[in-house]
Structure 1
Amino acid sequence: MTEPVWSLWLVSLAGAVSLSAQEDCPFDAASAFWNCSSKALAAVPPGAGGDLLELDLSFNRIERVRAADLKSAVNLQTLLLQSNQIQTIEEEAFHSLVRLERLDLSRNNLTLLSPSWFRSLASLKKLNIKGNQYLELGERPLFSSLQELRFLSVGNDNGFSTFRKRDLEGISFLEELEIEGQNLKQYEQGSLKSVRLLNYLILSGLSTDILSLFIYDIRKSVVCLELRNMKQLNMAHFHFPDQAISIAVQKFVLRNVELSDSSVVQTIGFLANMGHLHELEILDSRHQGVGEFYGVPHISSNIQVLTIRNMSNDQFYAFSDLYTAMSLVKNITKLTAENAKVYLIPCVFAQSFHSLQYLDLSVNLLMDTALDHSLCEGAWPKLQTLNASQNSLKQIQVVAGSAARLANLSSLDISQNNFEAMPDSCVWPKHLRYLNLSSSKIDRITRCIPPSLEVLDVSSNNLQEFRLSLPHLQELYIQSNKLAALPGASFIPRARVISIQGNRVFGFSEQQLEDFSNLETLDARDNSFHCTCEFLAFIRSQARVSQLCVGWPRDYLCDGPEYIRGKEVGVAQLQLADCHFASVVALICISLLVVFLVVALLCYKLHAIWYVKMIWAWLQAKRKPQRVCSKEICYDAFVSYSERDSEWVENVMVPELEHTSPPFRLCLHKRDFTPGKWIVDNIIDSMEKSSKTLFVLSEHFVQSEWCKYELDFSHFRLFDENNDAVILILLEPISSHTLPKRFCKLRKLMNTKTYLEWPRDEEEEPVFWFNLKTAVKS
């Protein structure tokens, strides 16, 4: 009882995990793509309907594909089931997939293959069933119903042992056929003859005997032949029914193979059978030897393209001068030796390439002196394109001088080297049109750059400016530097393409773009655009910008001002003050002026200036040193009067008061003020030394400025000492309203106290003098 319970629990747990993983599968409605890759699914998830075009179920744990799983996916075009654990596929599992074009069942656990799986797949073009556990492709023709099939991959690296004639029955044309068969033991002669045209055949891991049988069958039908994953390649053991055969292969590829000096010689001998061969590739392989290719047959080679990429050799430093292979390279027009540990090409060998037009020596070990030797006089006479990027070059003038020997060189790539500095002048090939100096640690561009260039790439360096005249330049790639502005059009007037992506450009103007009359493409993405009002206005007014700029508007973002950082240039909105600063300042100034005028008016109406002036004068006077009689009264009265009333004061009042018995001591400004002393100090000191302040009021008094000052200080004294030290004499009738309104206490005194009025009748003068003397004495 316990075992069934545990089994039920495990099934439930697996179902729960599968359901949870299904919920994580993203569905892209735009492309109708359901991505369920790497979700730990144990079964095909439900829900695949008619709206689904692509379904990726790779890298899961699916063991079985049932008939009902994909029944509703009638429009499915791509089904990826590779790298699962599929052991069983029900007969009708793919019956409804009539529009399926690609099916990948590789890297599963299928042991038996059934033709019924593919019976309804009339539209299938790509099928991959390699990497399973089957020993053969089946008892009946497996692919006879797949009339549209163009790409097919079969076999495995452990159990696939038999390939029969019926296996490819019904297939007459294939773009690509891959057969993986490390353990393939039996091949029925003529199994591939049914395929009348095969563009690309990949044979992986086959033994020499089986391989020779395959090659004999496809000798007339294959355009490109690739041999892959072969250890100790030995073509000397190839056995063909005919002693001399002609193989129609045009391209021959060796990938992940182990070569020795002797196997290279054997391979060259095998290539003699390929009279139409014009391209040879050796990729991701290993060579064990020093290049002593003794016994190389003297064959007429038509090879025009030779590619050696990612070739390892532990003894590369002992490689020979390759003189034994010089006769084989005379017709080569394109040579690539990338990442092959090339550190030198002997001059004599280089001079053997009479037809070479393209040479790629990138990702190698070339130094300045070695390159100079490899480009010796008479070498590479027809060379037009040279790629020496990612080597160990350091002196650009040496590289330029070496390349100058190549009379026909028009394109040179020396990027990703470590050039220390650029001199002011260099000698280059006369016809050089393309130069790539990207990622070379250059911090300055000089006249070393040839003026004949049409394309220049100096991207990913440390350039801060570009001020070099290149009148013929049409394309400039200067991205990932430190430029703050567009290069001037006067330096590159014919530029059609400019790439300044990833610099520090703050912006560009309408005039700058107009100066580039031939400009067709501008890539200014990922710069530090300072979105000023002028820049934004220009961007929005020019429809040409959207047509000219690559990645517009998504990759053009404001870097400043701070409040719009990160927004697209085309939609950024600045504040009013940023765009109309002068108007805002003028408005503020006008507002301040209005406020100032209002405050000034209020100060005038409320006599604020008078109060400030009085307080300041009084404080200044208070800070003066005390006088000798500061503690005693020196005068009985200080007389304040207008200069126009001086005749009455000096000839009438003063004699009457000073010549009486006892006499009064009066303080007059004409007589008693200290000469040279500030008049305000004189007024204040005289008032402080006097018991009374006697004002002779008249119309002249009111109009006198100094009399007003004396009234001001008297008014302040009333508040300061809280006394009645003021005597008012009306020399002539005057209304109390004539006095300034701010002298509120004086006005009150005139309204509430009796003041002395000079009589019109002489008989009343004695009474006036009596009252005045009494007032002064009090």
Structure 2
Amino acid sequence: MPTTLKGGGLMLCLYESGTLADIWPLGRVTLSLHSPFLTNTALASAVLADVSYPNTPLVLEDIHLIVNQTVKPLKELAERRTRSISFRNVTTSDEGFIDLLVTLDGVPVTFFSVEDFTLVGVGKWLPAKSADHKSLDEVFVRNPVFIDLFRFLASSQFLFLLQYPSKVSFINSKVCVIPCPTSRLLVNLQYLDLSDNLLTDLTLRETLCRGDGTLKNLRVLNISGNALKSLSTVSQLVDKFYKLTHLDISRNGYTSMPQGCSWPHTLRHLNISRAKLSAVTQCLPTTLEVLDLSNNDLKSFLLFLPALRELHLSGNKFLSLPHGWLFPNLQTLMIQSNTLNMFGRSDLQSYRRLQSLQAGQNKFVCSCDFVHFLQSVIKDTADVQITDREESYVCDSPLELQGEVVGRVGLSYVECHQDLVVSLSCGVALCVALLVCVLLWRCHAFWYLKMIWAWLKAKRSSKRRRRRDRAGSEALLPYDAFVSYSERDASWVENFLIPELEEPSESREDSMNARSPRPLTLCLHKRDFLPGHWIMDNIMSAIESSRRTIFILSENFVQSDWCRYELDFSHFWLFDGSAGQESAILILLEPLSQDDIPKRFCKLRKLMSSTTYLEWPQEEERYGEFWKRLHKALRAEEEEDDD
């Protein structure tokens, strides 16, 4: 049961012996007896007598050990064979320290600690040399203040205290060097802590006797927080420490790592954190089991360490996890506060034995894969366990998720499967486009678009031509009719139509009229189209220059592309306002109903439903009636003018 008792000055001016004696067991006792040690040593002795036991660590705070009188209460510790004694915030002199050593003569003290103590003296402790302190195993000194530092005597005055301990710590003690002869006296030393002192590469060489293996039993060496700059020097100095397993050289000024170093083959733990290293080389020993390179400037790690079990890389500049095949036995990886964007299952699977991971406080890109993976790891559904706080995994991007804890981010299916959604959307759009194209093809929309484009071009040429030919007044049309027919029906046009309309017979009934009918002028593509001109321009010009357009309809006509152009151009011309509503005359050479005409010929079907057409009779005796009706249709405007 830990017990703390603080009494001093007016706080403890009276104590009845045996008051604290019944408290048992005592795990640890801390006493602050500043005033009793100075003015009432009997009271201090009574308190110490009640709380001192061989196996109970005792801590004495805020006391002065200046003269023999102030040391007298400590005789209670000697009588009760206390083994662990610590002093905090203590002031002593050479006389007081000698009396303390003499008082503890023969006492089996194994641990002796002094923290924040002030020495008013110069280290003349040799008179206590005869005192027996062979049981002393560990000496711990931290934050000492030497009033007369420059008068402090050589270590030869207290060397008798250094030959026994196996653990020695001088922390923040302004130690700049330990002479090699002094180091040679540390024959039992296994643990040496010289952290936060003033050691340099040169003075360390003297302290470790130039690496001759003087400290042959040393297992742990801590020289962190000094002014060391050369890793090569350190490795050479400890190379012959054949029992060394732990080496802490952190918080020094290392800026680079040599390509090769020599280390004792027993070295298992190495700490080079809080330096300025920017690259890792073959200098690191392959025997390491624990390596701490945190808080450096490392960006990559490409060194094979087969025995490594624990790796600390926090506070560097890693963009991704090191390759797992470099560390086949790694169990713990700490890589916090770097510049990691993300990591995934495949990255961790490369670590065959990884069990614990700490990778928080990085700049994570919260993609769907990373969020899903990390949430599964946090929920302990993965082989690797996240051992730092969930709140340390925060999204840095995208912007809408910045600052969100990764474990609490919820992403929709669309956000997480954008490629699939885009692919499906493109597939649907392609199918729709194909369907539309099929429908347009079935409806012959492409043919109509092509025709409209050709008509627009021809129309534009026609307007230029009409502006060029216009001479103040509207010119007379040179043709009575433009004949649109298929080449396969040319024999009927040449043998029947042309002779009848351009060379009317005198025997016809019209000859009985007072005035004979004038011959009609027909526009035929074979005869009247201008050579060298675009066929569309010729068709448009022929339709514009003719009062009527005669369509010779047959199966051959329907199969002719040029006839279809002529039919559509005529239809556009009909509704363009430049021709009358009866400008088109349809002649059926053979029986042809609307159902026989393909649906794509919607204009022809419309004309046949709205315009009276002539059918070429199969009986020869009906030819006269056919020609009479055709002449009447073609001369309708002349008859209106005569009226």
TM-score between the two structures when normalised by the length of structure 2:
0.80
Aligned to 2:309: 474
Structure 1 residues 545 and 759: alpha-carbon distance in aligned structure 2, compared to 1, 3 A threshold: closer
Q: After superposition, where does 1:458-497 map in structure 2 within 5 Å?
A: 458-497=293-332
Aligned to 1:102: none
Structure 1 residues 419 and 290: alpha-carbon distance in aligned structure 2, compared to 1, 3 A threshold: farther
Aligned to 2:487: 643
Q: What is the RMSD computed on CA atoms of the aligned residues?
A: 4.0
Aligned to 2:14: 162
| Equivalent of 2:524 in 668, 671, 675 | 668
| Equivalent of 2:187 in 310, 331, 354 | 354
3-state SS, counterpart of residue 324 of structure 2? coil
Query: Could you list the per-position Cα deviations for residues 499-558 of structure 1 after superposition, in whole angstroms to 9, with x for gaps in the alignment?
Result: 33444262332x555554443433445553745458837975999756741448945857
CA contact 1:222–1:249 (8 Å) conserved in 2: yes
- Return the offset for 1:308: 0.6
- Matches of 1:757 and 1:496 in 2, distance apart? 100
Aligned to 2:92: 259
CA contact 1:480–1:502 (8 Å) conserved in 2: yes
- Say whether 1:297 aligns with 2:133: no
- Matches of 2:355 and 2:267 in 1, distance apart? 23
- Return the offset for 1:642: 0.6
- Which amino acid letter does the alignment assign opposite residue 645 of structure 1? D
Please, which moves more after superposition, 644-653 or 531-540? 531-540
3-state SS, counterpart of residue 550 of structure 2? strand
Structure 1 residues 736 and 430: alpha-carbon distance in aligned structure 2, compared to 1, 3 A threshold: closer
- Return the offset for 1:683: 2.0
- Matches of 1:659 and 1:290 in 2, distance apart? 150
CA contact 2:28–2:58 (8 Å) conserved in 1: no
Aligned to 2:507: none
Aligned to 1:653: 497
Structure 1 residues 530 and 426: alpha-carbon distance in aligned structure 2, compared to 1, 3 A threshold: farther
- Return the offset for 1:492: 1.0
| Equivalent of 1:703 in 538, 551, 559 | 559
Structure 1 residues 748 and 248: alpha-carbon distance in aligned structure 2, compared to 1, 3 A threshold: closer
- Say whether 1:622 aligns with 2:459: yes
CA contact 1:732–1:757 (8 Å) conserved in 2: yes
Aligned to 1:689: 545
Q: Matched residue pairs, number?
A: 606
CA contact 1:425–1:448 (8 Å) conserved in 2: yes
Query: Could you list the per-position Cα deviations for residues 120-154 of structure 1 after superposition, in whole angstroms to 9, with x for gaps in the alignment?
Result: xxxxx7xxxxxxxxxxxxxxxxxxxxxxxx73626
Aligned to 2:275: 440
Aligned to 2:568: 712
Q: After superposition, where does 1:302-321 map in structure 2 within 5 Å?
A: 302=134, 303-313=136-146, 321=154
Aligned to 2:344: 508
- Matches of 1:360 and 1:765 in 2, distance apart? 132
- Matches of 1:172 and 1:588 in 2, distance apart? 80
- Matches of 1:284 and 1:290 in 2, distance apart? 17
| Equivalent of 1:723 in 542, 562, 579 | 579
The higher-RCO structure (CA 8 Å, 6+ apart) is 2
Aligned to 1:31: none
Report sequence identity in percent: 36
- Which amino acid letter does the alignment assign opposite residue 667 of structure 1? C
- Which amino acid letter does the alignment assign opposite residue 550 of structure 2? L
- Return the offset for 1:311: 2.0
- Return the offset for 1:435: 0.4
3-state SS, counterpart of residue 209 of structure 2? coil
| Equivalent of 1:374 in 207, 214, 238 | 207
- Say whether 1:734 aligns with 2:603: no
Query: Could you list the per-position Cα deviations for residues 188-229 of structure 1 after superposition, in whole angstroms to 9, with x for gaps in the alignment?
Result: xxxxxxxxxxxxxxxxx5448548855995798555444421
CA contact 1:280–1:305 (8 Å) conserved in 2: yes
Aligned to 1:612: 449
- Which amino acid letter does the alignment assign opposite residue 228 of structure 2? L
- Matches of 1:319 and 1:546 in 2, distance apart? 61
Structure 1 residues 151 and 685: alpha-carbon distance in aligned structure 2, compared to 1, 3 A threshold: same
Q: After superposition, where does 1:20-419 map in structure 2 within 5 Å?
A: 151=3, 153=5, 155-158=7-10, 160-165=12-17, 167-168=19-20, 174-176=26-28, 180-184=32-36, 205-207=37-39, 209-210=41-42, 213=45, 221=53, 224-231=57-64, 233-235=66-68, 238=71, 248-261=81-94, 263-271=96-104, 273-288=105-120, 291=123, 293=125, 295=127, 297-302=129-134, 303-313=136-146, 321-377=154-210, 378=212, 379-419=214-254
TM-score between the two structures when normalised by the length of structure 1:
0.68
Q: By percentage of residues, which structure has more helix?
A: 2
- Return the offset for 1:389: 1.9
- Return the offset for 1:469: 0.2
Structure 1 residues 404 and 672: alpha-carbon distance in aligned structure 2, compared to 1, 3 A threshold: farther
- Matches of 1:749 and 1:655 in 2, distance apart? 27
- Return the offset for 1:672: 3.3
- Return the offset for 1:340: 1.7
Structure 1 residues 723 and 165: alpha-carbon distance in aligned structure 2, compared to 1, 3 A threshold: same
CA contact 2:248–2:271 (8 Å) conserved in 1: yes
- Return the offset for 1:355: 1.2
- Which amino acid letter does the alignment assign opposite residue 613 of structure 1? K
- Return the offset for 1:177: 5.2
- Which amino acid letter does the alignment assign opposite residue 707 of structure 1? C
CA contact 1:507–1:530 (8 Å) conserved in 2: no
CA contact 1:386–1:413 (8 Å) conserved in 2: yes
Please, which moves more after superposition, 401-410 or 553-562? 553-562
- Return the offset for 1:333: 0.8
- Matches of 1:291 and 1:607 in 2, distance apart? 113
